Structure 1
Amino acid sequence: MGRRKIEMKMVSDNNSRQVTFSKRRTGLFKKANELATMCGAEVAIVVFSPGGKPFSFGHPDVDSIANRFQNHQDHYSSSSSSKLVNKFLINSGVGSSNSRNVRVEKLNQQLNELLKQLQAEKKRGELIDKEIEKSKSGFLKLKAINPSSNIDELNMRELQKLKKSLEELKEKVNVKTSEIEASSSLLLLSKKQLAVQRNKFRDETLQQMGLLLKNAARY
């Protein structure tokens, strides 16, 4: 018998959805690693779980790929958009204060969104730090039961508690690391995109001023 085809739709059960996400995420990162290893490709992937936790994979690393991608986008935008802006200004003579105010308001909205993201990531990091400290304190309390003993002298119950505490600590550290990597990459992209918008607005404003001065010189 052939393999049964899996229907592509949202998994309704929450637990099954989380398991599916973990398996598919691992497979996605594995394929990306194979692509990088076998083809010499540079790859960056950022994935958010159904619960909102970010996970990332990058070769050589996510930040360098994000920088390279954004630089490519900046070059493309600067070479094509400037021609469109010039044509638009010449044909329509748009340069009113209303249009400038709209662009300024849009930039302010983007800046506010970026600041909200920074604040949210800061709070998330603080919560994870507290959980890590909680796990550490649990481990230290377990160690305080008999500080002079070593691991070989612990009984089965103490060993199980120690194992559980270490596993929880390891998981929280891994989550913290993934969130820091993904958040830093996303914030880097957001900052670069905001800078691109500001530069476009500056260039458009200078071009409009030049056009106005040119028209004024005729009188």
Structure 2
Amino acid sequence: MSRKKVKLELIADEATRRTTFRKRKKGVLKKVSELSTLCGVNAVAIIYGPCDPNPDFWPPSPSDAKAVLTRFKNLSEMEQAKKMMNQQEFLKQRIGKLKEKLKSQMRENQVLETTKLMYDCLAANKDLKDLSLEALGDLVWLTEKRIKEIQNRINDLRRITTTIVGDDDDDGGGGGGGGGEASGKDKTAMEALLSMGIGKPL
């Protein structure tokens, strides 16, 4: 059973908030310990509680924690802030990624919808005169795209055909080899044709 997604906002009930703090704090310190042990990296975590005068920290040894902090403080300000991120910056980055994903999905949907519209027009299920200027523009763009893809495949096929004909000429017209197995070059050409979808059984 999947866990219920937690809403990221301040917990209103104080008792629940304290209980959650204790549990989450223990989990964070455990994760830092595992990260340091499994990956062999220096790490430190310092957590101040709302009611505790002294912070909880990892590693347990104050001298080890101080050594990591000293190493961090010795870095330049640019290096210190290089991978630093607060909640606002994290949410901003997350929103940006989601927006890019949404744009990509919208473009994909547009291509699918325009492709369906093109087939409907070809099948006389829709009349071009009934389409908006935007829909007509999408159809023109998709048609030109498909024509370009077809032309590229035709050019690839012509290059492969020229290679096959040239190989036959080099073999002296194929005398003495009729009925034998295909040469290595012929196999390579045939594999190229099959990779483009040419020569596959219907």
Q: Same fold (TM over 0.5)?
A: no
Whose helix fraction is larger, Structure 1's or Structure 2's?
A: 1
TM-score (norm 2): 0.34
Larger Rg: 2
TM-score (norm 1): 0.32
Asked which structure has the greater RCO (Cα within 8 Å, sep 6+), the reply is 1
